[in-house]
């Protein structure tokens, strides 16, 4: 029978063990980012639509055609956040950025929404893990953010990722770059599709976001961003590269990288994984030194990144879950359930961090042992990564004697232990 209701197109349910992998990745992010002084920020999923059109930019794909926007019951235009940087900046301004520590280091993990064509690694509801460092203008802040990002990726087992780096001009340099791009593209504009022709006049930097091969061909030989940097931006960019070389972070420069959001200035970067295809970056980020002022605040420099958590989990080289010990409390029959539950409680109080699961299926000893062995062998359905299974069998005899039998599966060792000893034992 097919179910009456299905998850909305482009959205997914995350169930164990997948959901546990997401939780493990988030917990490693908390440890690594926390180690650099980042505290967590949680902003609302709903924001006013204007926040995104003014920050991400009216002519970007995100704002132009990917946002979930609707009027609420009072006629206000609201949007499900397509990204989290604008919300972080809004929250910092709303709380009074002047009263906050500087630099302000914040990280987040949460759902984002973009109306894109769903495919592998691309969803309409997806998750990002990101970090923003606010209030430091110098290149050391870009470098620290990238070093932290690599610490995180290395903790997850990635060894061969490389950053793609570029520097985009702000202010007058940006205008000059846009003009030069227009001059390059206009004579060839007939080859462009309708959307891209509109971009030439409205915001030619957005041509670099186009997936159309004809547009890519037109952009070949176009002027590059680095030719339009002012001396300050140029030396900032040179310093960032020097920092990265000293920190051993591999990078390649890509003159065509401008990133699909308008708020970037100076450094921009992405990390692409081969297994996801070149269209799909695992993460992206950069500086956004004008965004605070653009949103009505003081001129505060900032830099940050966001990782596509779904994409990251899909290409993880290893299992991010900490291995845990499982105590599998196995009653011989339903009459032993109350005693089994008392045994499980005693074990939990003596073994913090372990999983203590009582088999309440009534399947009995033989089938219970089969299930326990399957879990140890890496049964795909089990939520946790299990390093050892200890089957704690309780039958009528154990109940009468107030003991248990403990079998360590990998050691094939079994011993009888009094109930009273369970709370005290940390290992058998």
Under DSSP, the state recorded for 323 is P
Q: What order do you get walking across the sheet with 281-287 strand by strand?
A: 39-40, 104-113, 125-134, 302-308, 281-287, 266-272, 163-168, 251-253
DSSP 270-317: EEE-GGG-TT-EEEEEEE-TTHHHHTTS----EEEEEEEHHHHHHT-S
Structure-block tokens of residue 54 = 């003014």
Query: Smallest distance from the beta carbon of 281 to ligand HAM, in angstroms?
Result: 4
Cβ proximity to ligand HAM: between 237 and 382 the closer is: 237
Cβ proximity to ligand HAM: between 281 and 391 the closer is: 281
Q: Is 420 exposed, middle or buried (0-12, 13-18, 19+ CB in 10 A)?
A: exposed
Q: Does 85 bind ligand HAM (CB under 6 A)?
A: yes
Among 110, 135, 204, 285, binds ligand HAM (CB under 6 A): 285
Among 12, 49, 111, 116, binds ligand HAM (CB under 6 A): 116
Q: Does 225 bind ligand HAM (CB under 6 A)?
A: no
Cβ proximity to ligand HAM: between 126 and 237 the closer is: 126
d(CA 351, CA 347): 6
Query: Interaction with ligand HAM in 287-316: which residues (CB under 6 A)?
Result: 288, 304-306, 308, 310-311
Q: Which stretch binds ligand HAM (CB under 6 A): 81-89, 134-142, 239-247, 386-394?
A: 81-89
d(CA 313, CA 200): 37
With CB atoms as reference, the residue minimizing the distance to ligand HAM is 308
Nearest residue to 107 (alpha-carbon basis) of 83, 82, 130: 130
> To which residue do tokens 């070149």 refer?
278
Query: Smallest distance from the beta carbon of 268 to ligand HAM, in angstroms?
Result: 9
Q: Does 284 bind ligand HAM (CB under 6 A)?
A: yes
Among 114, 206, 371, 399, binds ligand HAM (CB under 6 A): 114
d(CA 116, CA 82): 11
Classify the C-alpha dihedral 318-112-139-60 as positive or negative: positive
Query: Smallest distance from the beta carbon of 27 to ligand HAM, in angstroms?
Result: 20
Q: Does 128 bind ligand HAM (CB under 6 A)?
A: yes
3-state secondary structure of 125: strand
- Enclosing H/E stretch for 149: helix 139-155
> What percent helix, strand, coil does the chain show, rounded to 5?
40, 25, 35
Q: Does 126 bind ligand HAM (CB under 6 A)?
A: yes
Q: Does 81 bind ligand HAM (CB under 6 A)?
A: no
CB contact burial 243-258 (16+ within 10 A = b; e otherwise):
bbeeeebebeebeebb
Cβ proximity to ligand HAM: between 116 and 212 the closer is: 116
Cβ proximity to ligand HAM: between 122 and 324 the closer is: 122
Query: Smallest distance from the beta carbon of 363 to ligand HAM, in angstroms?
Result: 40
- Mark residues 131-150: x for contact with ligand HAM by CB under 6 A, - for none: -x------------------
Among 47, 83, 142, 289, binds ligand HAM (CB under 6 A): 83
Q: Does 283 bind ligand HAM (CB under 6 A)?
A: yes
Which residues contact ligand HAM by CB under 6 A? 83-85, 114, 116, 121-123, 126, 128, 130, 132, 260-261, 281-286, 288, 304-306, 308, 310-311
């Amino acid at each position: 029978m097919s179910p009456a209701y299905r998850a909305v197109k482009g959205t997914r349910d995350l169930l164990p063990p997948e959901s546990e992998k997401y939780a493990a990745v988030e917990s490693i992010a908390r440890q690594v980012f926390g180690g650099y002084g980042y505290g967590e920020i949680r902003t609302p999923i709903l924001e006013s639509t204007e926040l995104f059109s003014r920050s991400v930019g009216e002519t970007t794909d995100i704002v132009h055609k990917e946002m979930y926007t609707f009027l609420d019951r009072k006629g206000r235009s609201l949007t499900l956040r397509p990204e989290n940087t604008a919300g972080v900046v809004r929250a910092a301004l709303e709380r009074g950025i002047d009263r906050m520590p500087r630099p302000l280091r914040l990280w987040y993990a949460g759902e984002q929404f973009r109306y894109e064509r769903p495919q592998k690694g691309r969803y309409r509801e997806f998750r990002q893990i990101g970090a923003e460092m606010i209030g430091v203008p110098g290149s050391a802040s870009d470098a620290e953010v990238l070093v932290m990002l690599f610490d995180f990726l290395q903790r997850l087992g990635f060894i061969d990722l490389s950053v793609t780096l570029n520097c985009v001009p702000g202010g007058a340099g940006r205008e000059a770059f846009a003009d030069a791009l227009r001059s390059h593209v206009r004579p060839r504009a007939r080859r462009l599709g309708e959307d891209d022709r509109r971009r030439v006049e409205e915001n030619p930097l957005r041509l670099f976001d186009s997936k159309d091969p004809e547009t890519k061909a037109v952009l070949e030989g176009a002027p590059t961003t680095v030719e339009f940097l002012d001396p300050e931006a140029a030396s900032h960019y040179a310093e960032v590269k020097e920092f990265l070389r000293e920190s051993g972070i591999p990078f390649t420069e890509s003159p065509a990288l401008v990133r699909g959001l308008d708020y970037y200035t100076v450094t921009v970067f992405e990390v692409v994984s081969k297994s996801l295809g070149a269209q799909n970056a695992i993460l992206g980020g950069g500086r956004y030194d004008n965004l605070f002022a653009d949103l009505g605040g003081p001129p505060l420099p900032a830099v940050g990144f966001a990782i596509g958590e779904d994409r990251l989990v899909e290409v993880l080289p290893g299992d991010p879950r900490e291995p845990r010990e499982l105590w599998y409390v196995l009653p011989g029959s339903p009459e032993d359930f109350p005693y089994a539950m008392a045994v499980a409680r005693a074990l939990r109080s003596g073994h913090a961090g372990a999983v203590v699961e009582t088999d309440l299926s009534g399947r009995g000893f033989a089938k219970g042992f089969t299930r326990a062995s399957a879990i140890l062998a890496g049964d795909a359905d089990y939520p946790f990564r299990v390093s050892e299974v200890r089957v704690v069998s309780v039958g009528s005899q154990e109940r009468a004697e107030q003991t248990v039998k403990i079998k360590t599966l990998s050691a094939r060792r079994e011993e009888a232990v009094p109930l009273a000893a369970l709370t005290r034992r940390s290992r058998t």
